[in-house]
């Protein structure tokens, strides 16, 4: 995918005004009637880049990795090189080709969208909450309120272009002298000038600022979810409406719990005697300490489910379950008396209940703890 920002010679954070200025400069530089026919391909490339970066929707698609000019991208928007050629001929030759001058550009422009990332812990994902992100955006100039003038004065008609935003001049080309149309340098195409620009924003009506934004995290949110905060992005030129702020939510790993959909999983280790005889114990949950009953005869890798202690289901009040995986700790060192007791139990229990069962598939019948203990000590 072509780097349209590099083609126009601007950075990815360039404003709409900077992109337009770069386009005008590059289109004049590479126009075949001025630079020569060998620059026709470069001229087309400049137009393709501007077609994408000057359109907020196309630029948003391009920044997300989709080239609207690529026929395989699935984008079916209108426009193309033919319309750009009309704009260029209108820019260079005015009415000579049947085109008319465009209206002066408004000083008030909509702002661009912004993107940020918020990291939250797993508990916030379970219950919801507020995350805070620090963003660097264009904000409304507090000194002039977005007007751009020092004393609230309204812009006046540009004396150089008489409010048209463009000026005509004669240039010498390979085809001879021609009348060209160019953006008025004094008013920068607006048709008006601010006689006393605001000292803080230099007439732009906005300033670069850092601010903290509180992001409402819905309960049950999934990792890598993108949230949209309306009008929390860049304020536009001339105090124009702000774009939107998109926040990508990342959920940090937790040391005690793993998430699977709306369920939480954790693993505990218990002594062999608890598994055989059963036991009641307290475990940590996001709801505080909770009682867990290990049933008598609990097998290794057996799970105990605590309903309603999992993740809140998105846009619902119901919650998933906390699934506790039980791992049984088998002692590896026994004294003579303990070994004798285990051997006696094995003779009375394992020899009657279990027999060798060789199979190509895992057996449904699990070995008892004492069988496993005997194997471990043998």
Which residues fall in the annotated binding site? Answer: 141, 144, 158, 161, 184, 187, 198, 201
CB 27 within 8 A of CB 43: yes
Non-local CB neighbours of 329 within 8 Å, separated by 6+ positions: 269, 270, 271, 272
The upper half-sphere exposure of residue 123, i.e. CA atoms within 13 Å in the direction of its Cβ, equals 7
* Sequence-ordered strand ranges (E) for 33-98: none
Cα maximum dimension of the chain: 113
Contact between residue 125 and residue 311 where contact means Cβ atoms under 8 Å apart: yes
Supply 372's token pair.
Answer: 């496993």
Q: From the CB of residue 10, how many other CB atoms can be counted at a distance below 10 Å?
A: 19
Contact 194, 153 (CB under 8 A): yes
Q: Are 261 and 132 in contact (CB under 8 A)?
A: no
Residues in the annotated binding site for Zn(2+): 141, 144, 158, 161, 184, 187, 198, 201
Residue 282's CB is within 10 A of a number of other CB atoms, namely: 10
Tokens matching residue 100: 């008319």
Q: Which residues pair with 245 in a beta bridge?
A: 114, 229
Q: How many CB atoms lie within 10 A of CB 188?
A: 18
| Residue 150, CA distances (Å) to 147, 191, 238 in order | 9, 19, 13
311 SS3 class: strand
């Amino acid at each position: 995918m072509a780097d349209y920002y590099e083609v126009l010679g601007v950075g990815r954070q360039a404003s709409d005004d900077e992109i337009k200025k770069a386009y005008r400069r590059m289109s004049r530089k590479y126009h075949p009637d001025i630079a020569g026919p060998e620059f026709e391909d470069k001229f087309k490339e400049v137009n393709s880049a501007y077609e994408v970066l000057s359109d907020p929707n196309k630029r948003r698609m391009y920044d997300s990795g989709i080239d609207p000019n690529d026929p395989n991208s699935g984008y079916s928007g209108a426009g193309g090189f033919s319309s750009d050629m009309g704009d260029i001929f209108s820019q260079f030759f005015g009415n000579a080709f049947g085109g008319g001058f465009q209206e002066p550009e408004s000083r008030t422009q909509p702002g661009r969208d912004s993107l940020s990332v918020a990291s939250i812990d797993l508990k916030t994902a379970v219950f919801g909450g507020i995350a805070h992100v620090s963003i660097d955006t264009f904000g409304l100039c507090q000194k002039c309120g977005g007007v751009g003038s020092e004393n609230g004065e309204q812009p006046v008609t540009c004396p150089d272009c008489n409010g048209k935003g463009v000026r005509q001049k004669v240039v010498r080309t390979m085809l001879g002298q021609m009348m060209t149309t160019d953006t008025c340098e004094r008013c920068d195409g607006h048709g008006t000038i601010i006689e006393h620009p605001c000292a803080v924003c230099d007439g732009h009506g906005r300033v670069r600022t850092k601010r903290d934004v509180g992001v409402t995290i819905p309960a049950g949110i999934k990792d890598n979810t993108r949230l949209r905060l309306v009008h929390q992005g860049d304020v536009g030129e001339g105090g124009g409406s702000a774009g939107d702020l998109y926040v990508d939510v990342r959920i940090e790993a937790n040391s005690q719990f793993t998430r699977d959909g709306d369920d939480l999983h954790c693993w505990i280790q218990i002594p062999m005697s608890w598994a055989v005889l059963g036991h009641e114990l307290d475990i940590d949950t996001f709801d505080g300490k909770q009682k867990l009953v290990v049933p008598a005869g609990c097998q290794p890798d057996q799970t105990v489910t605590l309903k309603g202690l999992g993740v809140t289901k998105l846009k619902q009040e119901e919650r998933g379950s906390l699934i506790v995986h039980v791992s049984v700790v088998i002692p590896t060192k026994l004294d003579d008396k303990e070994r004798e007791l285990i051997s006696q139990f094995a003779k009375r229990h394992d020899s009657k209940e279990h027999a060798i069962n060789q199979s190509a598939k895992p057996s449904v019948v699990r070995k008892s703890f004492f069988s496993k203990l005997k194997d471990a000590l043998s």
